[in-house]
Structure 1
Amino acid sequence: MSAATLTTAPRTRRNLLRDIRIVLVRELAPVARDPFSVLFGLVQPLVFLGLFGPLLAGSAGEALGGDVWLWFVPAVLAMTTLFGTSVTGSNLQLDISSGVHERMLVTPLSRSAQLVGRALKEMVPIVAQSVVVLLVMLPFGLRPDPLGAALTLAQLAVLGVGVGSLSYALALAVRKQEWMFWMVQQTVLFPVMLLSGMLLPLENGPAWMRAASAVNPLRYVVDSGRAAFAGDVASAAVGWGWLAALATAAVGLAVGVRSMLRSAD
Structure 2
Amino acid sequence: MKWLTDNLERFLIWVLSSGPLPRHVAFVMDGNRRYARQHQKRVFEGHSDGFMALRRVLRICMLLGVETVTVYAFSIENFKRSQEEVEALMSLAEDKLIELCEHGDLLDQYGVRLNVLGKRDLLPESVRAAAERAESLTRQNDKAMLNLCMPYTSREEMATALQSTVEEALASDVDLSSLSEKDVDKHLYTSQVGSPPVDILIRTSGVKRLSDFLLWQCCEDTQIQFTPTYWPDFGLRDMIPILLDYQRSMWSRQR
**TM-score tier (shorter):** under 0.3
TM-score, normalised with respect to structure 1: 0.24
Structure with bigger strand share is 2
Q: TM-score under structure 2 normalisation?
A: 0.25
Please tell me whether Structure 1 or Structure 2 has the larger radius of gyration of its CA atoms. Answer: 1
Quick check: which one's helix share is greater? 1
